[in-house]
Amino acid sequence: MTQKLLAFILLGSFLAPTVALAEPKLAVVDLQRALEETEDGKKAKAKLKADFDRKQQELDAKQDELKKIKEDLDKKLPLMKPEAADAEKKKFQDRFVELQQTYQRLQQDLAKKEQDATSGIFRKLSTVVGTIAEREHFAMVLEKNSAVVWSQPALDITNEVIRLYNTGAKKGK
């Protein structure tokens, strides 16, 4: 048993300098930029913007309606009996809460649609990054905006990722 351990330690000491001498190749990629510049990313962004604009118009219309109700209410309140005034204030408050809930619902809906639209693209981008990393023998590829404060521009493979992604997307991969 001790002979095996000794052999393992000796083997490890012979291999350690070899491993230490091997300089790992690193790269960085800006996945957010890649998302925005791929053809699929541009299409998803345009679709999300159109959906956002539609929902924003809906929200603006409801907000304008609520402003008019508030202006009318402010004019009528001094002339109303206290019970009627309280009932009108309650109606306005209910409408205001409804508007806030609509806003939150639309925000959540847009966030989910963005997640749905981009998750598949990010998965494909990760595959493309893996393909490039294997081809170029990178030991590691770091995401530029989340883990890297600075890197040499030569290490950035984002343009290659976008090019390869778009080429693969045109071929239907």
Is the separation of the CB atoms in 52 and 165 below 8 Å? no
User: What pLDDT is stored for residue 147 in this prediction?
Assistant: 78
Q: DSSP characters for 41-106?
A: HHHHHHHHHHHHHHHHHHHHHHHHHHHHHHHHHHHHGGGS-HHHHHHHHHHHHHHHHHHHHHHHHH
> For residue 6, is pLDDT > 80?
no
Write 45-52 long-range contacts (CB < 8 A, 24+).
47/117, 48/110, 48/113, 48/114, 48/117, 51/110, 51/113, 52/110
Say if residue 4's pLDDT is above 60.
no
List pLDDT tens digits, range 19-70. 445 688 999 999 999 999 999 999 999 999 999 999 999 999 999 999 999 9
Q: CA 156 to CA 138: how far, in whole Å?
A: 12
Residue 162 in this model has a pLDDT that exceeds 70: yes
Fold designation for 24-170: Protein Binding, DinI Protein; Chain A (3.30.910)
pLDDT value for 149 = 84
Q: Are strands 26-29 and 140-143 parallel, antiparallel or unpaired?
A: parallel
Q: What is the pLDDT of residue 135?
A: 96
141 in helix, strand or coil? strand
More confident site: 85 or 172:
85
What pLDDT score does 23 carry? 82
Q: Which secondary-structure segment (H or E) carries 164? A: helix 158-170
Domain limits, the chain? 24-170
Which residue type is seen at 31? L
Per-residue pLDDT of 122-158, as tens digits, reads 999 999 999 999 999 999 999 998 878 888 999 999 9
3-state secondary structure of 111: helix
The length of the chain in residues reads 173
Q: How confident is residue 173, by pLDDT bands cut at 50, 70 and 90?
A: low
To the question of pTM greater than 0.75 for the whole model, the response is no
How many other CB atoms are there within 10 angstroms of residue 105's CB atom?
11
Q: How confident is the model at residue 83 (pLDDT cuts 50, 70, 90)?
A: very high
**Structure-token pair, residue 129:** 């990054």
